[in-house]
Amino acid sequence: MLSVLANRTYRHLFMAQIIALVGTGLATVALGLLAYDIAGKDAGAVLGTALAIKMIAYIGVAPVAGAFANKVPRRALLVSMDLIRASVAMFLPFVTEIWQVYVLIFVLQSASAAFTPTFQATIPDILPDERDYTRALSLSRLAYDMENLTSPILAAGLLTLMSYHWLFSGTAVGFVASALLVVSTVLPRPTPKEGDQGGIYDKTTRGTRIYLKTPRMRGLLALTLAAAATSAMVIVNTVVIVRGLGFSQRDVALTLAAFGGGSITAALTLPRILDRLSDRLVMLVAACVMVLALAVMAGVTATMTPGAGYWYVLLVGWLVMGIAYSASVTPSGRLLRRSANADDRPALFAAQFALSHICWLICYPVAGQLGARVSMTAAFAAMACIAAAGTVLAVWLWPANDPDVLAHEHGDLDQNDAHLAQHANGDHAFVIDNRHKKWPK
């Protein structure tokens, strides 16, 4: 899996991703503790709202960024977004009001919404080989898991020496270091297609229209809903549960690390598993495990006396959910790569980024409000129901005999959308046939 690091450009981008995400992980821990300081037992509701604002920024900004990603130098865009995020992180330690948290989170995450799809769409151009790209996806998953594993552990150590406010400084340093690493690379810049004269609406919705007309992409979106229900419960309510048990800030970080530990374990083993099993099977099994784990935790929370014993069960639950979460989301990049050619790839990655975060926009406030207003048992149960709904939808929407090469008949494409049926890269092809008015079985 580490062989892809021999590519200098990818190696530098991967290191930039790790450093930036470690910084983001420190900010996640610090933001939860800041919310607890400001709102006390209502911290879950505050954090849920802040993360919902983050999702709104992603949903609104990502499609626009994806539409114009091929129109500006990628390196300049990535560096600019890193510097904006670093600047915002420096303001967070001085926050004293809830509304200030909301405003800064919106600005920071708007920059992330422009950065992430552009970064993701660059990797397939650097590593065109399918096997190399699969391994790069797993390494990328490991990098994201640094936010869930290494960052909380690092935060736990730092919190013994300093106030959590200083963790935001670590976030800023991470973004600056990421920008410097991106500057050290030479990134490919796709040549704009001839005749691409579409307006703003066409450019910003192109990726979404391609995405929603592809069966496997609709199935991926449903599975993302299941993953969002799991991660929302972990991210929003961990600090409330652990601090409510009377445990320390370090214990909050270690609990988050349990989820990251499961996720990183799955990411390490997935390349070999995906060489033998289909993406669909692996992702559906993982979704079923998430549903079961959430349901079990709802039962445990309802019946078990709060204390050290419950915390140990929580650690095991977070570990299992971390494994299943990683297994359900890591293969998504492979599906996206198969579903668009190089020209359309930034738009499709941006569509996945925006549409998938609608799932988190639903789950974050639900998990936070139920945990704060009703009970943690209700929050666990609601997330289990949402995850179950996503899993059932995925089974229905994603054909079981989904091949790598697809031939689709889009009867619902009008004349203006006909060009959408022409994005083919050998892995995925659309076939226009206006005589058919529905998807083939």
Tell me the average pLDDT across 205-227: 84
What whole-number distance in Å separates Cα of residue 126 and Cα of residue 148?
Answer: 27
Dump pLDDT digits (tens) for 375-398. Answer: 999 999 999 999 999 999 999 988
| DSSP state at residue 305 | P
As a whole number of Å, the CA-based R_g of the chain is 21
Tokens representing 386? 């949402």
Q: For residue 220, is it within any domain? A: yes
What whole-number distance in Å separates Cα of residue 168 and Cα of residue 171?
Answer: 5
Q: Please name the residues in contact with 242: beta carbons below 8 A apart, sequence gap of 6 or more.
A: 251, 252, 255, 311, 314
Helix (H) or strand (E) holding 303: helix 279-303
Answer whether 353's CB lies under 8 Å from 113's CB: yes
Q: For residue 422, is it within any domain? A: no
What whole-number distance in Å separates Cα of residue 266 and Cα of residue 243?
Answer: 28
Structural domain of residue 372, as residue ranges?
Answer: 2-184+199-402
Q: For residue 397, is it within any domain? A: yes
Q: Please name the residues in contact with 206: beta carbons below 8 A apart, sequence gap of 6 or more.
A: 67, 198, 344, 347, 420
As for how many domains the chain has, the answer is 1
| DSSP state at residue 4 | G
Q: For residue 432, is it within any domain? A: no
Answer whether 254's CB lies under 8 Å from 153's CB: yes
Q: For residue 431, is it within any domain? A: no
Helix (H) or strand (E) holding 408: strand 407-409
What whole-number distance in Å separates Cα of residue 162 and Cα of residue 306?
Answer: 29
**Tell me, what CATH number does 307's domain have?**
1.20.1250.20
Statement: the pTM of the whole predicted model exceeds 0.85: no
Residue bearing tokens 């549960």: 241
Torsion, Cα of 327, 329, 333, 338 (10° steps): 80
Q: For residue 410, is it within any domain? A: no
Tell me the average pLDDT across 396-412: 62
Q: For residue 96, is it within any domain? A: yes
Of the given ranges (131-140, 172-181, 245-254, 277-286), which has the lowest mean pLDDT? 131-140
Q: For residue 409, is it within any domain? A: no
Q: Which amino acid is at 145?
A: D
Answer whether 331's CB lies under 8 Å from 402's CB: no
pLDDT confidence band for 12 (50 / 70 / 90): confident
Dump pLDDT digits (tens) for 145-191. Answer: 555 555 655 666 676 676 777 778 878 888 898 899 888 887 766 55
